[in-house]
Copies of this chain bind each other. A is one copy, B any other.
Amino acid sequence: MRNILTRYRYPALTFFASASSASRTRALPLITTTTTTTTNNNLTKIDKHPRTFKMTIHKTQEPHITAITELSPQSSKWITLQQIHYVDQTGKPRLWEVAARKTRSTPTASSAGGIDAVAMCNILLHPRRPPSTILVIQYRPPMDAYTVEWPAGLIDQGETPEQAAVREFKEETGYDCVVKGVSPIQAADPGLSNTNMVMATVEVNLKEEDEDPLEGKLPEQKTEVGEHIERVVVPMAELYERLVEYSKKERHVVAAKLFHFAMGMHFATTERYGVFGKRE
């Protein structure tokens, strides 16, 4: 993984343009990093995986960092830097540095009880297709890379995690979903930040006549201005292998929570250790 402080030439991604026909594609020139904005909207990106699918993205150039500046906790909007003064188990006073979100209200002010975010473990059920999941790929400035994640978002003031899950899922994927369950609260990165989250398990129940998401036929997203979120649909049974493939792609990184879920699935199904009584 590249450090965000590293400057490098941006890898060439291969793009194809589609004149609103999924079958007719023509090669575009490789995208180079300039500050000139070209306006090839409605580009269709072809994934190199054997199970080829197509995604509509609106991208005219590779995003890139122009500067990194230090920020004071007073002038930041989203995150602050704090020193925690605490007394440890033996009575000794100690210090710990923490990155804290400014967006979280006090636990009682929000109906979500002080939960920052919700991520959606989602299952797309289509009569003709294996159970699949929709992942989102977006440029994340902190990593200076495209991250592969489950749809997720911050819980708004007054929202329940379930409401935030339905709203964010619609915004990022275009699908209406049904929440089947919400996990206990989890610590996102407890050595570094106070951020926490829950995972909602959501279902998208498609009918025979609905278009096939595994063919890349997805509803329109409701993303906000400035959000450029690519969607990929992956059969659940292939999730682990697909994430390993994404990790090998230039300038791509998989988010740890999604990867750990997939690793857990892989661990349980390969059963090298006979954990569930079926040692191989």
Contacts and interface: CB of A to CB of B under 8 A. Distances in A.
A231 interface: no
A48 interface: no
A117 B261 CA distance: 19
Interface string A253-279: 111111111111111110001111100
A162 interface: no
B101 A192 contact: yes
Nearest to A92: B226
A194 B76 contact: no
Given A72-B81, A78-B97, 12 more contacts: A58-B90, A70-B80, A71-B97, A76-B97, A96-B141, A99-B142, A140-B190, A142-B192, A185-B253, A188-B192, A264-B266, A264-B268
In the A-B complex, the 3 residue pairs with the smallest Cβ-Cβ separation, listed nearest first, are A264-B264, A99-B99, A37-B91
Interface stretch (A1-9, A19-27, A171-179): A1-9
24 contacts: A1-B114, A1-B115, A1-B187, A1-B196, A3-B107, A3-B114, A60-B91, A61-B90, A61-B91, A66-B93, A67-B84, A70-B81, A71-B73, A79-B99, A92-B226, A142-B191, A184-B254, A187-B253, A188-B189, A188-B256, A199-B260, A257-B257, A261-B261, A268-B269
